[in-house]
Structures are given as C-alpha cells and as structure tokens.
Amino acid sequence: MTPPRPPSRVIQWGTGAIGAEMITAILDHRADLDLVGVKVYSETKHGKDVGTLVGRSPIGVLATADTAEVIAMPADCVLYTPRTTDLAEVCRILASGKTVATTAFLFHPRRLPSPDRDHVLRAGTTAGQRSNWVGRRNGEPLMQIETLWTVGGEYPDHWPRPKDGWTLTIEGDPSMRTHFFSSASFTRPASIEEHVRSANVATAMQVLNAVPTVCDAAPGLATMAALPLVRSHTGFRNA
C-alpha cells in the first residue's frame, strides 16, 4: 500500500472572492493541505489571523502584506489569486522553488494578445462580450465554444438569445444536447450574493483541487488540457 503523502504546504496569495473560498475550503476540508502563509494587499488585513479573516477560528497564521516575507516562506505551492496579476512577481515566486496554481487568465499559455485584450476591455465602451473559439483538426472545425456575456439589463437585438447557462451540443451519431446551469440552490430561494458566491466556489475549487497534480507535474506550464481530470476532493477524495 502506498504510504499517505505528507500535507502539501500552500500559501494563499490574495484573499478576495476566490482566495477566501480557497482558504475556507482548505480549513474545512483539506487535511492534505497545510496553509502556511497568506499574502494580502489591504493594510487592514496585515497582521490578522487568517482564520479570523475568513470567519473561522484563529489558526495561528498571520496574513502579511510583505511580499518578500511571503516569497521567503518555505512552501510547495502558491495559490495565486490577486485581482491584478504581476508577471515579474510570479517569476520571483517560481524562482523561490514554489509551484504556482492560479485562476488568473494572464498565465494561460494561449491568452489573448494584449492588443486584442486592450481592444475588448477599453474602459467605458464595453457592456458585453461575444466570443467564439474554434478548435480544428486537420484544418476542419471540430469543437466550437461561444459565450455571450453582458453587464446590465440591455441585450443587443442582433445577438442570439439562448437559455441562460451552458448548452452542450454534440453533432454526431447519435447527436446529443444537454443544458447546464449552476446556481446557489435549485430547492430554496437564494440571494444574488449566494449565486455569485457559488460561481466563485466553482472557480476556486478547480484550482484548489488541482494542487496535488500540479505539484507532481513536470516543470513548465500545466493547464487543464495536460493535467489529469481534476475532480472534487470532498466528493471523490481524489483517490
């Protein structure tokens, strides 16, 4: 029988919507992860016990706004979820010998080139985004993903009007279609804050659940395309 691996030492970098979900999940469910440090940006959080910051009992780990102090901490993995990302900073973390797991789009190898991103996000001009990605095999379209995201109540007349959520269509033999919609609950009334939080959980857990495999991966960039299937730790124990 394989002996149980010792807990991975993790540092949480940023305690916003995503970072706070990661911390509570680690404290509540992840005996295999040892939270050894937390980097914050707000001076009001500096020096506070991390457990207290997320509404749990004190755990004896103090949050710090001192970047150099966090980088100097021994750890296996940094969960990097600040609002704005800093390539040089991430390079310093990597150079200190730690793995980085992140929700930040900047670090996806095929991220948008900056001129496109600047165009899409020009301040004050964007109330929605319609994006389309096509994966090809031998030059022929094989997979296509389209997203229609809007802010506010307006919706362009010339855009399609699909059901809210995600519709997966497979054209084949047989052809299949399913509709997927995530929510805080389907059985009780939930506030908009709960719905937003449930979306944060979905984002945060994809990365948190990937930590063991990311730590085991070969040096380099590891994305969902290369990693084994990342599953719920609490549901499957990742056995």
Q: Which residues bind ligand NAP (CB under 6 A)?
A: 14-19, 40-42, 45, 81-85, 103-105, 199-200, 203
- Within a 10 A sphere around the Cβ of 79, how many other Cβ atoms? 27
What's the min distance (Å) between Cβ of 212 and ligand NAP? 20
In the complex, least distance from residue 65 CB atom to ligand NAP, rounded to whole angstroms: 7
**Element containing residue 234 per DSSP (H, E):** helix 233-236
Nearest to ligand NAP of 106, 215 (CB atom): 106
Using the minimum distance from each CB to ligand NAP, give the nearer residue, 14 or 212: 14
Give the DSSP per-residue string, 56-112: S---S-BEE--HHHHHHS--SEEEE--SS--HHHHHHHHHTT-EEEE--GGGSTTPP
Nearest distance in Å: CB 38, ligand NAP: 8
Q: How far is the CB of 125 from ligand NAP (least distance, A)?
A: 20
Report in angstroms how near the CB of residue 21 gets to ligand NAP at its nearest: 8
The tokens describing 159, both together, are 């855009």
Distance CA 67, CA 59 (A): 21
Mode of pairing for the β-strands spanning 166-170 and 176-180: antiparallel
| Closer by beta carbon to ligand NAP, 19 or else 212 | 19
How far is 163 from 179, CA to CA, in rounded Å? 8
Taking the least distance from each CB to ligand NAP, the nearer of 7 and 16 is 16
Q: What contacts 3, CB < 8 A, 6 or more positions away?
A: none
CB of 5 vs ligand NAP, minimal distance in Å: 27
- Say if residues 34 and 61 touch (Cβ distance below 8 Å): no
Q: Encoding tokens for residue 62?
A: 């103090």
Nearer to ligand NAP, 21 or 76 (CB): 21
What value does the CA radius of gyration of the chain take, rounded to a whole number of Å? 20
Q: Which is nearer to ligand NAP, 84 or 138 (CB)?
A: 84
Residue closest to ligand NAP, measured at CB = 16
